[in-house]
Amino acid sequence: MKLSLIGTGYVGLVTGACFAEVGHQVICVDRDAEKIKLLQAGGMPIYEPGLEELVKKNVAEGRLRFSDSTREGVEQSDVIFIAVPTPPLPDGSVDLSFIEGVAREIAAAMTSYKIIVDKSTVPVKTGDKVAETIKRYCKGQVDFDVASNPEFLREGFAVDDLMHPDRVVIGVRTDRPVKAMKAIYEPFGAPIIVTDINSAELIKHAANSFLALKISYINAISVICEATGANVQEVAAGMGMDARIGRRFLDASLGFGGSCFPKDLSAFIKISEQLGYDFGLLREVQRINAEQMNRFVKKIVETLWVLKDKTIGVLGLAFKQNTDDVRLSPAIELCQRLQKEGAALRVHDPKAMDKARAVLKDVTYVDDMNAVAEGCDALVIATEWPAFKKLDLERARKSLSHPILFDGRNLFDVKEMERLGFIYKSIGR
């Protein structure tokens, strides 16, 4: 099929590459001409495992190309996916100006029947607004359908999530686009759920908010574990073996971050408020998440006493492993909190240092993770990169002024760290 993706961020670029991989003809569009030039030249604007290889392969085989023209994308596609940002506004609601702008551009370019699909995470009833906008700005009587197809991609695992989805949700206003939408996803072999468009839009916010709730729940349990001497990892393992609960998203940590969970949680609270429901449960999820960071900073301050003029090494800047994304990263927030306390920082991340430089100033960026601890008063693990589990702990202990390690991701065994001579502080253990 002939498809276009309007927006080449994490969602649009990964989706476009995977659609091309299963045989569709795909054009990825972005108004950022420099990004398009980079992609056309074989460069990558983001790091995502497996993505660069997939893009290069499908460009070479002629199934994937890039353009900065929405008109070109509309004219040369039967189905148009909108995958532009939906950033938060100060009150927690969603800025839909990019969605509205793209809908107008699509309308202006349409001359024949098209299916327009919301791939971006949007509030319920956005599909109605998109349809209304296209009808208003379309020249002449051109027929079209609007559908919702929410993404469920995890940064760091996005290619695998799209190539092997556990479900595909398609929300429609009429039955007419269902056959085409099913045909797009047939090669992926996943269960396809067809709903009304409002239900599809709600599924995404409901799912992400539930996962955020699950993370905050285990973080709350970690507080009880620390107060009683229990081990949160053992508690999570025991809970996770219950098939009704499952083990995923039960890892105590600094808290959730990134461009999805915080934004989607705030948006769902605001959406519920506008619909007349006070979703207090989700506000408590936000409070627990913020308190988790406060508790970790307090743990550092209580151990080191005064942070002013002390040097702290920080391993991890991305909001999670396998990505270079630092948007709303707990690791970046932690660094900024430590700086406010007067600490100097030496930092390292396997992939995110270039993007971190734009938001984290006045720190020393270190290329080798094993060199971060040199001259530091303590070492902090802020992101769960698998590489950090291979840290040369003996070298770190000798490099530190005091053998103090704060583990915000519970990467190491408590007894082993104590055996190695560390003052080791983790979460919920």
Q: Which residues are the active-site residues? A: 260
Residue 47, SS3 per DSSP: coil
Q: How far apart are CA 421 and CA 426, in angstroms?
A: 15
Secondary-structure breakdown of the chain: helix, strand, coil percentages, each rounded to the nearest 5: 45, 15, 40
First to last CA, the chain: 53
Residue 347, SS3 per DSSP: strand
**Strand ranges (DSSP E) for 357-396?**
364-365, 378-381
Nearest to 83 by CA among 156, 131, 144, 150: 150
**Strand ranges (DSSP E) for 361-401?**
364-365, 378-381
Q: How far apart are CA 292 and CA 254, in angstroms?
A: 6
DSSP structure class, residue 26: E
Q: How far apart are CA 213 and CA 289, in angstroms?
A: 9
DSSP structure class, residue 174: S
Burial class (CB in 10 A: 0-12, 13-18, 19+), 276: exposed
Residue 96, SS3 per DSSP: coil
Report whether 66 contacts 27 (CB < 8 A). Answer: yes
Q: Enumerate residues 6+ apart whose C-beta is below 8 A from 397.
A: 403, 420, 421, 422
Residue 138, SS3 per DSSP: coil
